[in-house]
Amino acid sequence: MHLLKSLYNKKVVQFNNTPSFPQNVLEKNQRYIILIDKNLNKLYPNLCSNYQKIIIPVGEKAKTTTSLLYIIRQLIKLQVDRNTVLVGIGGGSVLDITGFVAAIFQRGIEFGFIPTTFLAMIDAAIGGKNGINIDQHKNIIGTFKLPAFVYYHLPFLKTLPDHIWAEGCAEMIKHACIGDPLLLNTLQKNTLASFKNKSNNYLQRIIEQNINLKSKIIKNDLFDKHERKILNFGHTVGHAIELLYNIAHGYAIAIGMVIELQINEIVHGYQFQDALKKILQNFQLPISFNIDKREVWHLMHADKKKVNDRIQLVGFKKLGHGFLYTLSIVQLKEIFFTI
């Protein structure tokens, strides 16, 4: 695969569609330490069983300072040196903490990803963002560090329940809205049921499409200073909702996208809520949520995307073609409390 050569300068993305997980994924003469959450390790007890493993909590509990210190102490206990490669196997939270630990342990060791969810495959595994949460602040401590490899074993997807599939589809819908009209057209013709039952070859093409879009956006802005911010569509509001109400990331982003389109309508006069809502509902994603606007605003106001008294949002004159625009915090607050 050459999808990420522009970012990585080497071949790092590989796909495998065969039923069983290949035993030769990792190089024989290299030491690897596996990070995997307890649920996945129970589901696949023999996965990379010939390597030392560190079992971590499930979901966002993996991205806490408690989990971070536990992993580092285990690495010390295992006498890990700078030639060791850390491998995260799992969903987005596992990949996030793997990249973060690898970036700071002994001032940096190599790491790789084996994502097991659709969300992780099209989002967390790509782009080099790694981080942990503090209190109600998502990814407030983090790094930019790229993995040495990303390995996709697509049969993992066949074991996912519908709600986990739906979460990943929320990020795919986001990608389509901000910059891929062809993908948007594909999604308008599908439902969650029809999509998740596609062949592995079809899903690989869709994953590649998402990787290409994200890679193109971040190619010249790895450190999230300019055009990469367009990937935040739905996240300014969505992250606040996710942390306040402890709902799944993809569900929160779906709600965030709807609200941010309401803001877009007031600022720019273009109405796309109905079109987005139809796609979200077809993929079993929520389109509304009963929120306490004062609490949500408090977290939005503290969002790391805010610069001084201004914040960038994603706007649309047409779905499939997003653009960045800036509002003052005062303007955004006034609009947010009127929608």
CATH for 177: 1.20.1090.10
Whole-number pLDDT of residue 304: 61
> How far is Cα of residue 202 from the mean position of the Cα atoms in its chain?
21
Domain shared by 146 and 247, yes or no: no
**Helices H, strands E: what count in the chain?**
14, 11
Whole-number pLDDT of residue 10: 47
Whole-number pLDDT of residue 11: 52
Whole-number pLDDT of residue 3: 38
Note whether 285 and 169 are within 8 A (CB): yes
- Cα–Cα distance measured from residue 172 to residue 59, given in angstroms and rounded to the nearest whole number: 20
Whole-number pLDDT of residue 9: 45
At 37 the three-state DSSP class reads strand
Domain shared by 231 and 154, yes or no: no
User: H/E element holding 133?
Assistant: strand 129-134
- Structural domain including 71 reads 5-159
- Of 233, 229, 207, 211, nearest to 220 by C-alpha is 229
- Structural domain contains residue 256: yes
pTM: 0.90
- Cα–Cα distance measured from residue 19 to residue 250, given in angstroms and rounded to the nearest whole number: 27
Q: Enumerate residue ranges in the chain where pLDDT < 70.
A: 1-12, 303-305
Residue 196, Cβ neighbours under 10 Å: how many? 21
Domain shared by 79 and 65, yes or no: yes
Query: How many distinct structural domains can be found in the chain?
Result: 2
- Structural domain contains residue 201: no
At 74 the three-state DSSP class reads helix
Q: Which amino acid is at 160?
A: L
Domain shared by 187 and 152, yes or no: no
Whole-number pLDDT of residue 2: 35
Domain of 87, CATH number, reads 3.40.50.1970
